[in-house]
Amino acid sequence: MINLLLGKAPQLEYRPTIGLNFGQKMIKSMLGEHELNLWDFGGQKNFWPMYNSYLLNTKLCIVVTDSTPTGVLKTKMIIDWLNKRDENGGDKMKIVALANKQDLSGVMTAERVANVLRCPTYPVVAIDPLHRENVIEILKTNIEQVVKVE
């Protein structure tokens, strides 16, 4: 996803995120220019404890999920964990989901994914450069909402 946002060549072969990756991007919205620090975390359970350190003062958390039923259920566990963290005094942050791999047959639609995850969900194909602008728009929209709330 970071590759897509930064306009780099997509990674076609699946390689799990080992721990975390990082990227920076400037985005202009109606409210001004925003410097985004993009932290890409591995979703595997053993990485979850690490999230706490990096989510400090985070305003917007974007969860990228496979749109397969199994993938969505695993992602649901992550979102539940993040919500619980908020309830336990963590920083309040907005959670948005990207339902990835919408180009594959048999996957759940973004609407169905949203019903399971109970958060705003957008359809994407992260390996398709044509989706880049779409993802940037999603970012802009949600950044504006977060900034307005503050």
For the bound state, the minimum distance from the C-beta of residue 103 to another protein, rounded and expressed in Å, comes to 21
Backbone angles phi, psi at 8, to 5 degrees: -90, 165
For the bound state, the minimum distance from the C-beta of residue 84 to another protein, rounded and expressed in Å, comes to 19
Dist CA 22 CA 62 (whole Å): 14
For the bound state, the minimum distance from the C-beta of residue 85 to another protein, rounded and expressed in Å, comes to 18
Dist CA 94 CA 74 (whole Å): 19
Query: Judged by CB, which is closer to another protein: 46, or 150?
Result: 46
CB distance 119 to 79 below 8 Å: yes
Query: Judged by CB, which is closer to another protein: 17, or 134?
Result: 17
Supply the angle between the helices 110-117 and 69-87 in degrees, to the nearest 10: 40
Residues that bind another protein (CB under 8 A): 16, 18-20, 42, 44-47, 50, 74
Query: Judged by CB, which is closer to another protein: 30, or 50?
Result: 50
Query: Judged by CB, which is closer to another protein: 30, or 104?
Result: 104
For the bound state, the minimum distance from the C-beta of residue 52 to another protein, rounded and expressed in Å, comes to 14
For the bound state, the minimum distance from the C-beta of residue 49 to another protein, rounded and expressed in Å, comes to 8
Q: Where are the alpha helices (DSSP H) in the chain?
A: 2-5, 48-54, 69-87, 110-117, 132-149
**Of the candidates 81, 98, 91, the residue with the CA atom closest to the CA atom of residue 56:** 91
Query: Judged by CB, which is closer to another protein: 116, or 139?
Result: 116
